Amino acid sequence: MQIGAADVEKIWLKSYPPGIPAEIDVDEFASLREIIEKSCTRFADKPAYTNMGRSITFGELDQLSRAFGAYLQKNLSLNKGDRIAIMMPNLLQYPIAAMGALRAGMVVVNTNPLYTARELKHQLSDSGAKAIVILENFAHTLEEVLNDTSVETVITTRIGDMLPAPKRQLINFVVRHVKKMVPKWNIRDTVSFRDALSEGRWQEITAHELTHDDIAFLQYTGGTTGVAKGAMLTHGNMVANLQQSSAWLDQVTETGTEKIITALPLYHIFSLTANCLVFMKLGGENILITNPRDFSGFVKELSKHEFTAITGVNTLFNALLNTPGFDQLDFSNLRLTLGGGMAVQRAVAEHWQKVTGKALVEAYGLTETSPAACMNPLKGEYNGSIGLPIPSTEVSIQDDDGNELPIGEIGELCIKGPQVMAGYWNRPEETAKCMTPDGALRTGDMGYMNEEGYVFITDRKKDMILVSGFNVYPNELEDVVVGHPGVLEAAAIGVPHPKSGESVKMFVVRSDESVTAEQVLEHCREHLTGYKLPREIEFRDELPKTNVGKILRRTLRDEELAKRKSAA
């Protein structure tokens, strides 16, 4: 069955690179399990995931994930549809646990290791997770809330658990006793990850029937804008997005030969789909970076691999470009640099092109779209857009009343396609709020489409600044400010103003400490009209960010409003 045929004209199709289909066949695979098992068989001898000097092949991934899935079924008596949380950074244990759970017919609840006890309690309680696989470094947080959740089994792992002896014992000793990275915790009757694998090897996994309607992931989102909601991503959603993404990547990838740098956490939807699953489908090797915030160590790790692809957010690329030694790496094999999660700034994209000789291509998606929805042609240059709707995806720009707007007019970006979530877990009212009557997702992002079908994001609806009745978009302002040679990062927010309603305040992280506020303002005057100019500029050593590096404007707004309220 071909998905996505529409009566309306899809003007973006004329801009598709040669060979990319307008539609994908979502029925080629019944579930993610089928894709996982097919790749494990087809690429059995090739490396699948590499971390801290250890690689596991697709054949080993098959055996290990099968053992873990069997343990969940037979030893823990978990059933099809039961939820299992995974709480760890990028380690080999992640793909083993996630794919084992999926093969066993269970639902993976990806959990941020940096969660506070309050956030963790909400997610575990809301999802109804019956088991959790957790890196022991974060077990102290779980201990605080465990009795208030439905979790029955805690499976703990240590950073070095999938490494060979004696390296395994050495790293685990250093992490716990030398670096003291494991706060004290006390949870009764836990199971070690290695023991679970050992016991599962003697069990047979039951292959429950899985269809496109079965949930694969509960992917939580919206925690910075209210109560976090679990997006129900079905096997059909995920299969569709793998089909869509791999069809698009076919321009530059070669099956069975890719090496992708996976620095963004696998529990985040971007890295989960684009790296962990898409490149697994392609028979590629994921090189997992456990601590990408250690940029000198990150660059050292990059020097060991002839990598062909890397994904990231704007702040990650910017930090790499400003890390000594990065410009000395060998980029001759690099074919794909994909940016998402936040706007890619022109200054960063141009700097990346200059250093690596390769384009930084921007893509767009949301947790609710599994995530890919739009992507730029992979052999093009930076153009400031988020790209074209990918195969079997319809994009419309709508006003507040749901009317579709003409080409070039700014409105809310709405997305329809087989990758759009089934809804929010146990929240039908929230689901209804974000869906149009014909099943399109209201993204909350403001933008427009040009005559060639390229989509441009102006900003998040909630982040717009209203200055004397004029819409001012933070992305545009930040893009201009970071174009100053002495600026590393910038974030713009709206603050109350007695005459204009709101005015712009800019937070700046300098790369050159001699840069003054007046110099930044003068730079802005060259590129921005008067009402868009920042009235206040505050220099900071760093900006608040999410775990994947997205700048948190809301945090800056909250801090600013609290400060003004206190002063008043």
Rounded to the nearest 5 degrees, what angle is found at the Cα of 126, between the Cα atoms of 120 and 129?
A: 80
Edge-to-edge order in the sheet of strand 107-110? 191-192, 153-157, 131-135, 83-87, 107-110, 215-221, 229-234
Instruction: Look up the pTM and report it.
Output: 0.90
* Bridge partner residues of 86 (DSSP): 110, 133
Indicate if 431 and 560 belong to the same structural domain.
no
* Whole-number Å distance between alpha carbons of 514 and 245: 44
Indicate if 330 and 300 belong to the same structural domain.
yes
Indicate if 366 and 489 belong to the same structural domain.
no
* Whole-number Å distance between alpha carbons of 544 and 552: 6
Edge-to-edge order in the sheet of strand 361-365? 54-57, 47-51, 285-288, 259-262, 309-312, 336-339, 361-365, 372-375, 388-389
Give the side-chain half-sphere CA count within 13 A for 306: 4
Q: How far is CA 222 from the centre of its chain?
A: 13
Domain count, the chain: 2
Region for 474 from its dihedrals, namely left if φ exceeds 0, alpha if ψ lies in -120 to 50, beta otherwise: alpha
Domain assignment present for residue 394? The answer is yes
* Whole-number Å distance between alpha carbons of 320 and 395: 33
* Of the residues 395, 414, 445, the one at which a domain ends: 445
Domain assignment present for residue 4? The answer is no
Q: Are 244 and 372 in contact (CB under 8 A)?
A: yes
SS3 370: coil
Which tokens in the block code for residue 460? 């998040």
Q: What is the pLDDT of residue 469?
A: 77
Indicate if 123 and 211 belong to the same structural domain.
yes
Indicate if 381 and 470 belong to the same structural domain.
no
In order along its 568 residues, the chain shows pLDDT tens digits of: 433 333 348 999 999 999 999 999 999 999 999 999 999 999 999 999 999 999 999 999 999 999 999 999 999 999 999 999 999 999 999 999 999 999 999 999 999 998 889 889 999 999 999 999 999 999 999 999 999 999 999 999 999 999 999 999 999 999 999 999 999 999 999 999 999 999 999 999 999 999 999 999 999 986 434 568 999 999 999 999 999 999 999 999 999 999 999 999 999 999 999 999 999 999 999 999 999 999 999 999 999 999 999 999 999 999 999 999 999 999 999 999 999 988 899 999 999 999 999 999 999 999 999 999 999 999 988 999 999 999 999 999 999 899 999 999 999 999 999 999 999 999 999 999 999 999 999 999 999 999 999 999 998 888 889 888 788 889 989 999 999 999 999 999 999 988 888 999 999 999 999 999 999 999 999 988 888 999 999 999 999 998 889 999 989 999 999 999 998 8
* Of the residues 386, 416, 445, the one at which a domain ends: 445
Q: What is the pLDDT of residue 9?
A: 82
Sign (positive or negative) of CA dihedral 364, 18, 2, 452: positive
Domain that holds residue 300: 11-445
SS3 117: helix
* Bridge partner residues of 496 (DSSP): 502
Residues 6+ apart with CB under 8 A from 514: 486
Q: What is the pLDDT of residue 7?
A: 37
Domain assignment present for residue 527? The answer is yes
CATH of the domain at 548: 3.30.300.30
Indicate if 421 and 546 belong to the same structural domain.
no
Domain assignment present for residue 493? The answer is yes
Indicate if 424 and 490 belong to the same structural domain.
no
Please state the φ and ψ torsions of residue 48, each to the nearest 5 degrees.
-105, -50
Q: What is the pLDDT of residue 6?
A: 38
Query: Residue 97 burial (CB < 10 Å; 0-12/13-18/19+)?
Result: buried
CATH of the domain at 381: 3.40.50.12780
Domain assignment present for residue 543? The answer is yes
* Of the residues 418, 445, 472, the one at which a domain ends: 445
Domain assignment present for residue 6? The answer is no
* Whole-number Å distance between alpha carbons of 360 and 365: 16
Domain assignment present for residue 455? The answer is no
Q: What is the pLDDT of residue 119?
A: 87
Domain assignment present for residue 454? The answer is no
Indicate if 266 and 413 belong to the same structural domain.
yes
Q: What is the pLDDT of residue 472?
A: 87
Indicate if 497 and 409 belong to the same structural domain.
no
Q: How far is CA 176 from the centre of its chain?
A: 29
Q: Are 156 and 138 in contact (CB under 8 A)?
A: no
Amino acid identity for residue 274 in this structure: A
Indicate if 416 and 469 belong to the same structural domain.
no
Indicate if 292 and 420 belong to the same structural domain.
yes
Indicate if 417 and 554 belong to the same structural domain.
no
